[in-house]
Chains A and B, each alone.
Chain A
Amino acid sequence: MITFENVVKQYPNGFRAVDGLSLEVAPGEICVFIGPSGCGKTTTMRMVNRLISVSSGRILVEGRDNRDIPAEELRRKIGYAIQQIGLFPHMTIYENVAVVPHLLGWEESRIRSQVDRLLELVGLDPDEQRDKYPRQLSGGQQQRVGVARALGADPPIMLMDEPFGAIDPITREVLQDEFLQIQKEISKTIIFVTHDIDEAIKMGDRIAILREGRIVQFDTPDTILAHPKNNFVRDFVGADRALKRLGLVRINEVMDTDPPMVAYEAKIEEARNIIQKRKLRSAFVVDRDGRLRGWVDKEAAERETSLTEAMAEVPYSDIAVRQNATVRDALSAMVTRSFRITPVVDSKGKLVGSISLRSLQELVERDDSEASEVSP
């Protein structure tokens, strides 16, 4: 969709902001550019819609060299959202979102329905917000309008330069989640510039880490966290990259699909057996439909005479984690409740597996040893 071929940006004073960069952004993916300030990430992004000219090399947009398309025409096909938002203060929300459709000469009725659709998409009530002016909106609302405006004429490609950078952390999280949801619907090809590694990991399908105008590593978030190519990347992603990586791994990818499980109607001996056999300290109790009812620990199982008396009956949401949650969530749950093992359930509460502290430890250790093999 977007291909950089040996792109160089050299300024008249000789400074090379981008130095021989090549990469390809696949259709429908969010490609995050990240790196320290001055690494050329914004420059690279701005060369795509020719806000900055390429010194040598070329950029293909949908297979065409972007210099073959008149700059304005090119830009109208590419959505553009920036950190400062840059909403036009003298235009209403409606007029702001309608800028590109107007530039493209759409019919008024089409523009109207498009604007309403987009405002709804970004979670704003069109009837309420349409005729307001930017200064009447909160920062978060303004940024939603900024995204809607970038989507104005349904461009296949979007460039986003730290679009959530100037917003308070809580709203930022909300907007990130919402945007990922929107992206599922619209699946645009997006270049997303940020300096926040957490945002990059969360938003990116692939991440390009840049330094001094070159790509240091271009890979999926998981691979980058698991296998940082060198010390620069390792430092950049941070000492807690293992923890960050746990945030990327879904529980159902690593859980033990054969959890220590005993039926609610079963005898107490059955529970003792399972605990002894698997050298565990506890087992989970499920009902006839496989739903988690509670748990029984080793001492109680040996002391009491019936399972119903030995078990601690609790709502599954209190002790279990969902199978589509991240491993990081599981770790957090275990630490807060001081469990060594935690049950995993599906959305209906059915026990589908378990995950233990030890297995997490193994996961982290394995990544580390692999990574150090790559760059000692």
Chain B
Amino acid sequence: MGGIIASFGFFFLPLLELKPNRLASGIPFELLQLGGDTRYIILFLLTFIVLAVALNRTTETRGWTLVALGNTMMFLTLFLGALAGANLIGNAETLLEGVNLRNPRILPSAGLILGLVGGYVTLFGGLSDLRKAKTPRVALIVAAWSGLALILIFLLTGQFDIYSVMVEFRARGELLGNRIVEHIMFVGVALIIGFVLGVGLGLWSFRDERMAPIILYVVGIIQTIPSLALFGVLLVPLARLGDRSASSIFLFLLVTAVIAALAIFLYRRFVQSFGPRLRQAFLIVTALLSAVPLALFVVLLSSFVFRSSFVVFTADGTVFASFRTLLSAMLLVSIALWLISRYLKKGLLKRIMRYGGLGGLALFGLTLLLAVGIGSSQFLSRVDSFAALTVRDLGVSGIGTAPAVIALTLYSLLPMVRNTYAGLVNVDPAITDAGRGMGMTPSQRFFQIELPIAFPVIMAGVRNAAVSLVGIGAIASVIGAGGLGDFILSGIDNASIDQILLGAIPAVILATLLDAGLRGLEQIFTSPGIKQV
């Protein structure tokens, strides 16, 4: 508990900063400089109480006290900060004499951040006490989230609008929504394609021991390339590709696909009659030949799907704008229904909720597909003639979302491949042997035994990839892909912390939610017989 002391020594740092306008730098104010208002003393008192309580020995009461204190501290730091901020703005004329005042704003400063961190540390300490005391789970959840919930309520009701980030948020809320959707879109598309490719490659390396080191090495190399550099490197070939006419590319795709199919057919047909050396060489040639159309196809498909769905979800003022709200509402309601049904006892209600939830999810998927379909038809209807169609019209270009989606897909490969491979390799051979001995076919063994057992490990890879993609996705905006990185970049240009935070905070929340959601999926679909890794 000693750590709390440290975090509170910093209370003497400036709490808030008053800025005359959006761009100029501000004046810092410490907590005690905020006028003689006694209310702020409460915060100091709180820290001392924490210290006193921390010395106490009994675990459970100490836990509850610390939890309460931590939550209060986090909330009060923000709440009192907001009050003080309002006060400062009111006196801005006198405080900032002679400066051009235009929309003065209040910037949270180091003291405020540390107040929050300190509150969190206190809360965390309390929670670990409670966990040791075997407090019921529901109580723990309430304890952990009550402070945050309170803050969230205040945030939503506009109580904290005094802070400059919120000002920025109010001003750009609509744009932020679009950027978030963009961000989710290219991370999501990359994640899905990466999942298919990554799990496929992982399977391949599992099945073919000689390929495993090669595949793992190649995806490892991709991972080491700096994201900015990869975006840059992809730019040129994609730009070149975009200049081609669509028909020539389709022809190329067709020809290479036929060649690849022929190669695969020949390989399968004659593989037995070759020596091991020749067989290996033939395998590599076949793999390379089939990789060409496959890669091209993936590039075209991902860009096209992305472009089409993009039209649907980010178009403003059309009927499709309402899709977003509808879809997200549908998703949330279905998940909620389904989750609640898990805690209900067997019965009609449970069944209704369960199937309602699952049905909702299915409907969500269908709607999504439908939307993509509508988007692509809209998208294609803009094209005059097929002959004039270039690959760029299909969504492939050097600048924009195509390189972003492709680079993100490449980055997602390593964790997926590695974890798929590791998960499958670590399935106890005795278990697969038992399956074989009982007369399971290879596909039954894979789907009924190997996959379910490796599932948590594979999902850990997916989560890993998802979290890092959200972060790397922010960089994609340097090549004009949009997303939350736009705010960060313009924030750098304007030296505006608010704008940077407006990009960074949603990214953090997005990554956390994605991680939590995938973790939830993982837990739902992992058999309770397998210990959580």
Contact = CB atoms under 8 A, between A and B. Distances in A.
Q: Do chains A and B touch in the complex (CB under 8 A)?
A: yes
A57 interface: no
A99 B438 contact: yes
A72 B439 contact: yes
Contacts of B430: 82-86
Contacts, number: 82
A267 B124 CA distance: 93
A182 to B, nearest CB: 19
Contacts of A315: none
Interface in A76-109: 76-78, 80, 82-92, 99-100, 103
Contacts of A83: 430
Contacts of A80: 434, 437-438
A133 B452 CA distance: 14
A322 B307 CA distance: 88
B444 interface: yes
Contacts of B530: 89-90
Q: How large is the interface on A (under 10, 10 to 19, 20 to 34, 35 or more residues)?
A: 20 to 34
A103 B433 contact: no
Interface in B60-98: none
Contacts of A90: 452-453, 526-527, 529-530
A133 B527 contact: yes
A135 interface: yes
Contact of B437 (A82, A89, A92, A103): A82
A349 to B, nearest CB: 48
Interface in B514-533: 526-531
Interface in B429-462: 430-441, 444, 448-449, 452-453
A82 B433 contact: yes
A49 interface: yes
Interface residues of B, number: 24
Interface string B418-434: 00000000001011111
A84 B438 contact: no
Contacts of A84: 428, 430, 433-434
Nearest to B444: A103
A134 B431 CA distance: 12
A135 B428 contact: no
Contacts of B526: 90
B77 to A, nearest CB: 45
Contacts of B437: 46, 49, 51, 75, 80, 82, 159
A333 interface: no
Interface of A: 46, 49, 51, 71-78, 80, 82-92, 99-100, 103, 133-135, 149, 152, 159
Interface of B: 428, 430-441, 444, 448-449, 452-453, 526-531
Given A72-B439, A90-B452, 4 more contacts: A51-B437, A80-B434, A88-B434, A103-B438
13 contacts: A51-B437, A71-B439, A72-B439, A75-B437, A76-B439, A80-B434, A85-B434, A88-B448, A90-B527, A91-B529, A92-B529, A99-B435, A103-B440
